[in-house]
Amino acid sequence: MARPAACLFDLDGLLLDTEPLHGQAWQQATRHFGMELASHHLLALRGRRRLDCAEQVRQWLAEAERQVPSTDELLAVRQPIAERLLPSARPIPGAPELLARCLELGIAVALVTSSSKAAVGLKAAPHPWLAGIHERVYGDDPELAAGKPAPDPFRLAAARLSVPPPRCWAFEDSLAGAHSARAAGCQVHVLLPEEADLAERLVAQLPKGCRLVRELTEVNLSTDD
């Protein structure tokens, strides 16, 4: 692949190691209503907007014949847990360096996240290196018709950068994000989870044409490969 004209970055699990923290918050919230989430449940929630995740959790609770709270009731339990945990997230190894390399090479960059603008502010505050990403598509972006796995977030980011999606490299770690970026027409790089069973499950459900990355340090922006 030729050097990209733009790099579109997911945030959670790709630039910041927040997914275990999000998982803890959903697990504790769901446990409050009588259900224990399995690893495949948590994997399915990755990359999706908060309200979409809440609806999925409510569906699982109904299927398990547990108490089904309203979305507001569920989030009233979950959000304080998440807000306490998320500021402690560390950068994914290689993420600051990959972003710095993009900026050094003059490659346009954008953040394409399912998180709300307020949530990104909370998570990004301890990480000034993220300030290098000026263009951002949030999960609550007023111009966003649908969130991941729909192609809308990546199409919107590419349009704002004035770069055709096929010239964009999208970096994702979730099934929803990979499907979103691929449907938008981007060249997709998927960072695999360290856990072998989760990686195997993820790879089995990825769309065709994704490049698999075990560490962000593997990404070569400088030359064709």
- CB count in 10 Å sphere of residue 100: 12
For 141, half-sphere exposure in the C-beta direction (CA atoms, 13 angstrom radius) is 24
SS3 state at 127: coil
197 catalytic? Reply is no
Catalytic residue among 12, 52, 141, 173: 12
Catalytic residue among 10, 52, 141, 173: 10
Beta sheet of 135-137, edge-to-edge order? 135-137, 108-112, 6-9, 168-172, 187-191, 211-213
Measured N-to-C along each axis, helices 71-85 and 50-63 cross at an angle, to the nearest 10 degrees, of 120
Residue listed under structure tokens 């966003």: 144
10 catalytic? Reply is yes
Catalytically active residues, by annotation? 10, 12
